[in-house]
Amino acid sequence: MAKKHKTLWELEEHSLGKHLVFKSYLNAWLPILSKWHGRLLIIDGFAGPGEYCNGHVGSPIIALDAALSHRHQAVRDQEIVFYFVESDKKRLEHLKALVAEKYPALPKNFMVRYADSSFDNAVSELLDYVEEQNKRLAPCFAMIDPFGVSDTPMSIIHRILQNPRAEVYISVMYEFINRFLKSNEFAPHLDGLFGGNEWTQVQSISDRSQRKDLLYNLYKQKLKKTKATNAVHFELFKGNRHVYSIFFATQSWKGADKMKAAIWNVAPSGDFVFRGSANGELDVAEPDFTPLIDAISKEFAGRWVTPAQIARFVGSDRTNYHSSQIKKNALKPLEQEGRLIVHPDDADKRSRRFSYRNDIRFKIPA
């Protein structure tokens, strides 16, 4: 790409959407993790120069600003290591100068480290930090946003996810993968990306949509071969053109829930829209909550459950929705239609109809 030869370039609209999701998630993630009172590690695997020539800031600055200006004091008091990896020397020097200019006196509990290397070549020092996190059981968040696929082997992502509190936020460019899908020269890079050669099974599939779905399902399966229990996947489209996909892997259903909420919070961005595909394609810009109602009904029909139990299901990677959408968009319509029965012993817990405390039991008839 042309921008690979530039120190600064313009931030494209679809990348802005990706950055807005990153910022929204960090704002929700940091106060939750600050309760551990240990070290947090934030890794930006493709840091870039820190800013764009049209005035937007890059992901390293977004991460630093999110921590420094967070309204929760516990976040600002936390020990946080920011690890910025960038292989282009001019961009890295620009990033260092920008950080020094914007933050001349960072708090003592904030440490910024730089790696003058590609993401995969920085693996030794990078994973030393990650493995230190494993011993201390402290959280780690890795943003992996490459230009292509050659520097992001699944083996490195697996090692990061050995930390039970590690999370990875990965951009995957399907158009780039598809372009070289039948190239023998490019095959080793795809072997690394998918952690094996199972991807070759799709080479004979002519249907473009089916081919993409199979590759993405394989990628999610590979992410979950680690300790990750949830792998969220959303795609960004401009009109009918697929631009890129976001994958997010975590061991926490709450992490998956917060990431989905962040995506819903920023979509649509201009004429770009996010679509989820956990249980059928969903256009986040024009949401249909029927699949949410159907998924809840299918999962819990015929037994007494609480909103708290449903939240764990909806917040996980088994749906495209997040837990804050349950009461208004699923429980209330179900009750309006007479398909939700409140437990007789819990009726007095309700201040009014269509209110749902987390400990109220109800049943959806089978």
Q: What is the pLDDT of residues 10-36, one digit of tens each?
A: 887 667 888 889 999 999 888 887 776
Q: Which residues pair with 244 in a beta bridge?
A: 236
Q: What pairing do the DSSP bridges indicate for beta strands 39-44 and 140-144?
A: parallel
pTM of the model: 0.91
- The domains located in the chain, with CATH, are 2-283 (3.40.50), 290-363 (1.10.10)
Report the share of the chain in percent with pLDDT over 70: 93
Half-sphere exposure of 227 (CA within 13 A, CB side): 12
Tokens encoding 116 = 């003058």
The label of the residue with tokens 């015929």 reads 302
Provide the pLDDT for residue 319. 93
Q: What is the pLDDT of residue 268?
A: 60
Mean pLDDT of 57-80: 90
**What's the rounded mean pLDDT across residues 127-135?**
72
Query: What is the DSSP annotation of 259-318?
Result: HHHHHHHH--BTTEEEEE-BTB-EETTS---HHHHHHHHHHHTTSEE-HHHHHHHHHSTT
Single-letter code of the amino acid located at 42: I
Per-residue model confidence as pLDDT tens digits over 213-223? 899 999 999 99
195: left (phi over 0), alpha (psi -120 to 50) or beta: left
Q: How does pLDDT run across 133-160, given as a tens digit for each residue?
A: 667 667 889 999 887 777 889 999 998 8
Mean pLDDT of 189-194: 94
Residues 13 and 269: beta-carbon distance below 8 Å: yes
In terms of pLDDT, which residue wins out, 143 or 176?
143
The tens digit of pLDDT for each residue in 199-247 reads: 999 999 999 889 988 999 999 999 999 889 999 988 887 777 777 889 9
Q: Are 132 and 20 in contact (CB under 8 A)?
A: no
